[in-house]
Amino acid sequence: MSAVQPDPRRWWALAVISMTQLVLVLDATIVNVALPKAQIELGMTDTERQWVVTAYVLAFGSLLLLGGRLADFWGRKRSFLIGMIGFGAASIWGGLSQTSIELISARGIQGAFAALLAPAALSMLTVLFTSGKERARAFGIFGIAAGSAATIGLALGGALTEFVGWRWCLLVNIVFAVLGVLGAVLFMRESKANDHHGQDLWGAIVVTLGFASLVYGLTLAQSGWASVGTIAFLVLGAILIAVFFVIESKTRYPLLPLRVLRNRTRAGAFIVQAVVGAVYIGATMFQAFHLQAVLGFSPLLAGVASLPMAITTMALAPLATRLFERFGARYVMAAGLLIAAVGMFYLTQLTVGGSYWVQVFPGLLLIGIGLAFVVVPVQNVGLADVPWSDAGAASAVMGSSMQLGGSIALAVFTTLFVEIGGGYASGSVAGYAAVYLAAGIVLVVGAIVSAVLVRRAPDAGNGEWSGENSGEWSHETASDWSQSSSSTEASASSEW
């Protein structure tokens, strides 16, 4: 069977896709340094301020599975374009909001369109790059964009808040939306799975409500873990998520084909991605407040002071890619997570009025070094050997892992911060130290997961991961993927 020639525009498409991923993750943090000023102008409570971040990441993470499946069967380019246009429109509404309810609602709608946009972009990347080393480098570039976006968001948010106002932290997305639409029209071609068009509506409703209930229950825990509301929403969330998996095992057209999760390496990558989200989305909000409330930095200076983490990750990405290609993902990711954990533990020694260069900078440097060795391989590992018809679903799980990991961590970290530190107005550093300690523990858990679940390299014979090979990817060729989706799904089902 003759191989399908690679798309000559694939590297331009990669640039558009990477910019898209950067914007989507960036938007989870860009408003962080602007929140104090937005809170004053709109008269928000502390809980409403947290929901400006939570509404985005929760809607994003909860709806990604539906967005991924729509991208597979509706068309990835079409989904990308609709998602980008809707994301830009919601950003305009958020930037012009006059009340806290408007702002929180706009952020939720942003997240909903991001849930359509993100898996469409990532699944297009999966089908555009099919050869081993080229694929690894493409996912490395994509990983750099994802991994550096959170801290770039803090810096950009600080600069915009300082010079033109907090509203531009949302309005700036208009520029990215225009570039994204033009790039999609010029450099992307349509692809989709043509075997069926059924949609798992009940699965989408149940999983969305399940994750929303879980995160809301964690948010209520600020008032006490033993409260009736906290326990009720946590239990309801757990039950709904369990029901979702039952639905997926029985429905003809599942939102999340369970075969996507049955590979233990892929499952390990999803968990590691959730850990990355916990750090980039959950912990960075407190980093922004720490720099402003404890060290007295302006929004601009707080944003700039956060950049060492992103700069280090970008600088080490080429080395991380080479190590990944040489040794595989297992121990590279585990070592990176442990280094990042050391950096997070270092931040726990902060004091009121302490020195940024002594108490903060070394920790950010270590976190940036460690995460460079995680964000480069984790996307590639999680999407290796995914059949054409499941590319959107697998991409959605990868994206939702990060967003839901971030939203759950944000709720838990906020509860710790309030219970131990007394809240944002207390002036205590104990709450910040507790958050950094918890984030460090999460990173250690991620390292253990990587070492236990992720195999070193794929075996060319059976698509499973073994510890004996050199790290070259074994995956379907473009010509294999161009066969009918029904035969691909049948073989995947029999393999599992």
For residues 2-24, b (16+ Cβ closer than 10 Å) or e, as one string? eeeeebeebeebbebbbbbbbbb
* Range of 10-19, 184-193, 484-493 with top mean pLDDT: 10-19
SS3 297: coil
Q: Is the pLDDT of residue 472 over 70?
A: no
Contacts of 166 by beta carbon, 8 Å cutoff, 6+ apart:
31, 34, 35, 37, 38, 41, 160
How many Cβ atoms are within 10 Å of 58's Cβ, its own excluded? 28
The pLDDT value recorded for residue 59 is: 86
Under a CB-based contact definition with an 8 Å cutoff, are residues 74 and 199 in contact? no
Under a CB-based contact definition with an 8 Å cutoff, are residues 424 and 394 in contact? no
CA–CA gap between residue 283 and residue 272 (Å, rounded): 16
CA–CA gap between residue 170 and residue 91 (Å, rounded): 5
Contacts of 22 by beta carbon, 8 Å cutoff, 6+ apart:
145, 146, 148, 149, 152
SS3 399: helix
- pTM, to two decimals: 0.78
Tokens at residue 106, please? Answer: 């706009």
What is the dihedral sign for C-alpha 432, 223, 30, 277? positive
Q: Is the pLDDT of residue 463 over 50?
A: no
CA–CA gap between residue 495 and residue 461 (Å, rounded): 13
The pLDDT value recorded for residue 172 is: 94
- Give the CA count within 13 Å in the CB-facing half-sphere of 59: 23
SS3 476: coil
Calculate the CA 250 to chain-centre distance. 29
The pLDDT value recorded for residue 465 is: 34
- 281 versus 463: the higher-pLDDT residue is 281
The pLDDT value recorded for residue 407 is: 79
Average pLDDT over residues 268-291: 89
The one-letter amino acid code at 124 reads M
Give residue 50's pLDDT band: very low, low, confident or very high (50, 70, 90): confident
Q: What is the mean pLDDT of the chain?
A: 83
Contacts of 389 by beta carbon, 8 Å cutoff, 6+ apart:
72, 193, 195, 485, 488, 489
The pLDDT value recorded for residue 455 is: 79
Among 3-12, 103-112, 312-321, the least confident range: 3-12
The pLDDT value recorded for residue 375 is: 87
For residues 153-167, b (16+ Cβ closer than 10 Å) or e, as one string? bbbbbbbbbbeeebb
- Give the CA count within 13 Å in the CB-facing half-sphere of 243: 16
Residue boundaries of the structural domains of the chain: 10-189+255-475, 200-254
Report pLDDT digits (tens) over 157-197.
889 988 999 999 999 999 999 999 999 999 988 887 665 55
Kindly state the helix (H) or strand (E) to which residue 204 belongs, with its residue range. helix 201-220
Q: Is the pLDDT of residue 211 over 80?
A: yes
Among 188-197, 209-218, 262-271, 480-489, the least confident range: 480-489
Per CATH, the homologous superfamily of domain 10-189+255-475 is MFS general substrate transporter like domains (1.20.1250.20)
The one-letter amino acid code at 434 reads A
Q: Exposed, middle or buried: residue 46 (CB in 10 Å: 0-12, 13-18, 19+)?
A: middle
CA–CA gap between residue 320 and residue 301 (Å, rounded): 29
* Range of 15-29, 265-279, 426-440 with top mean pLDDT: 265-279
SS3 258: coil
Under a CB-based contact definition with an 8 Å cutoff, are residues 299 and 161 in contact? yes
The one-letter amino acid code at 159 reads A
CA–CA gap between residue 273 and residue 401 (Å, rounded): 6
Q: How far is CA 450 from CA 280, 331, 333, 334, 484, in A?
A: 18, 7, 7, 5, 34
